Structure 1
């Protein structure tokens, strides 16, 4: 059940950040590195969950890899939480996104994902 929840949240994260990346591609602007990093974390997490479906997860190396993914999620929450969670976040801080509300939701999804890892 844990891996299924992690896979679900990774997929939701990929979708939420992917919307802005698709918008950047369609408008011929450069994608922000933070959004690319968010997609990287989501894909690595999802692939790990899928691999865990087929391989047993009792080996100590898996715990180390899970710890590394946790660090990725912590960095993701830190990067986007500092932009979208404070009340003082102004428009100048969040120019890249097309929806500040969606990004605030994305940060909360990231926090839940971080807790699950």
Structure 2
């Protein structure tokens, strides 16, 4: 009876701390959003790693960078940067869904370029071509991840666009 507060996880009169307020504010949607953004961040770093090594090899050889590989590295950088920003709890998912659609479009274009070059290519033991064939599927994965978050952000926006707010004058009164 004396230790009953332990089963509830809090004591009466306990002040809210970072740990208790995060738990109370985490919804299934928040967990989904953070998980998707984490995957987008990791996959963006993978894209950078796969394509930037060819840019580095060209730089060391004294050859100018190929624009297709520079574009793919840009896509990975864009995806990693914005997924990291959007992973924070202060950013609303629905507000930046156009950025998600733009990232989806960037990866779609990169997949189109590299898919045309490498999907039907026979590697014949060439490890560089095998790596690029795998990189094409990483681009597809990124494309799907960004499409999912763009659609999710759009659904959240359309669901809550007619909600009551202080700014519309239709807010509920606090008694």
User: Shorter-chain TM-score category?
Assistant: 0.7 to 0.9
Q: Hey, what does 2:48 align to over in structure 1?
A: 14
TM-score normalised to the size of structure 2?
0.58
Partners in 1 of 2:56 and 2:82 — Cα distance? 24
Q: 1:80 aligns with which of 114, 139, 154?
A: 114
Q: CA RMSD in A?
A: 1.6
Q: Hey, what does 2:99 align to over in structure 1?
A: 65
Whether 1:34 and 2:68 are equivalent positions in the alignment is yes
Q: 1:69-107, CA deviations, whole angstroms, 9 ceiling, x for partnerless residues?
A: 110010000000000001468xxxxxxxx8111111100
Tell me, which stretches of 5 or more residues in structure 1 are unaligned? 90-97
Moved over 3 A (4+): none
Measure how far apart 1:56 and its partner are.
1.8
Partners in 2 of 1:52 and 1:58 — Cα distance? 7
Q: Hey, what does 2:137 align to over in structure 1?
A: 108
Q: Hey, what does 1:95 align to over in structure 2?
A: none
Partners in 2 of 1:76 and 1:27 — Cα distance? 24
Shift of the 4–15 alpha-carbon distance from structure 1 to 2, 3 Å rule, reads same
Q: 1:32-78, CA deviations, whole angstroms, 9 ceiling, x for partnerless residues?
A: 10000001111111110111123323343x01111011100100000
TM-score normalised to the size of structure 1?
0.86
Q: Hey, what does 1:56 align to over in structure 2?
A: 91
The structure with more radius of gyration: 2
Q: How many residues align?
A: 108
